[in-house]
């Protein structure tokens, strides 16, 4: 994300508006892996363009503006590592990535539910109470390797069910892999 807040001189407006569109950009290494939309305090891109963004469109993810996170932007957060079984009862893996609440806080979000959408269309709603009270991460790595597209990437919700007593025995329903969009709900 590149913040676009504050005042801009009228002469700069055209350029700023152009920068809001998900079009030609040369100063980035890769795409937004996770796009945050809904009522945010910060945005860095314009509206969803159905003709150019069919995956958003096919899941009904329409927005006027959003905040996108590239791999390097997600990697800039302090990571947390969780050693936990996944799927439940299976092998233990070491997952790491930013706390979901930290990513949301960067966009000024702290008390709203979020709807997490995966590449396969799987969706789960997570209440603010849950992401604030549990150290759920947006995992980017499993056992030191980046989560890949086609695997569990680009990001995955991983919960500390091995160490957080309140999560003992939780099932996998909210362990969403293939996360690419997070909508902040207005409840």
Ligand X SMILES: Nc1nc2c(c(=O)[nH]1)N[C@H]1C(S)=C(S)[C@@H](COP(=O)(O)O)O[C@H]1N2
Residues in the site for ligand X, rule: CB under 6 A? 87, 118, 120, 122, 172-173, 175-178
By a kind-dependent CB cut-off of 5 to 8 A, residue 43 interacts, out of Mo ion, ligand X, none, with: none
Cβ(95)–Cβ(137) under 8 Å? Answer: yes
Pairing mode, strands 137-139 and 179-184: unpaired
Residue with tokens 């930290």: 102
Instruction: Specify the residue, 112 or 124, whose C-beta has the smaller distance to Mo ion.
Output: 124
Q: Write the interaction track for Mo ion spanning residues 138-177; mark x where CB under 5 A is met and - where it is not.
A: ----------------------------------x-----
Specify the DSSP class assigned to residue 163: T
Q: Provide, rounded to whole angstroms, the least separation between the CB of residue 174 and Mo ion.
A: 10
C-alpha span between 144 and 158 (Å, rounded): 15
- Between 25 and 125, CB nearer to ligand X: 125
Q: Which helix (H) or strand (E) holds 104?
A: helix 100-106
């Amino acid at each position: 994300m590149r913040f676009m807040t504050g005042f801009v001189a009228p002469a700069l407006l055209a350029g700023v508006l152009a920068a809001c569109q998900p079009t030609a950009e040369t100063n980035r290494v890769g795409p937004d892996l996770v796009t945050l939309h809904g009522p945010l305090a910060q945005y860095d891109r314009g509206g969803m363009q159905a003709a150019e963004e069919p995956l958003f469109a096919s899941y009904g993810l329409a927005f006027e503006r959003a905040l996108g996170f590239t791999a390097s932007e997600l990697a800039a957060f302090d990571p947390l590592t969780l050693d936990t079984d996944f799927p439940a009862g299976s092998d233990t893996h070491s997952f790491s990535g930013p706390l979901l609440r930290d990513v949301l806080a960067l966009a000024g979000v702290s008390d709203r539910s979020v709807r997490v959408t995966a590449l396969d269309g799987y969706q789960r709603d997570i209440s603010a109470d849950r992401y604030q009270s549990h150290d759920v991460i947006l995992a980017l790595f499993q056992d030191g390797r980046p989560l890949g597209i086609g695997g569990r990437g680009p990001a995955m919700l991983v919960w500390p069910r091995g160490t957080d007593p309140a999560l003992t025995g939780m099932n996998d329903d909210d362990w969403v892999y293939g996360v690419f969009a997070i909508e902040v709900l207005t409840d």
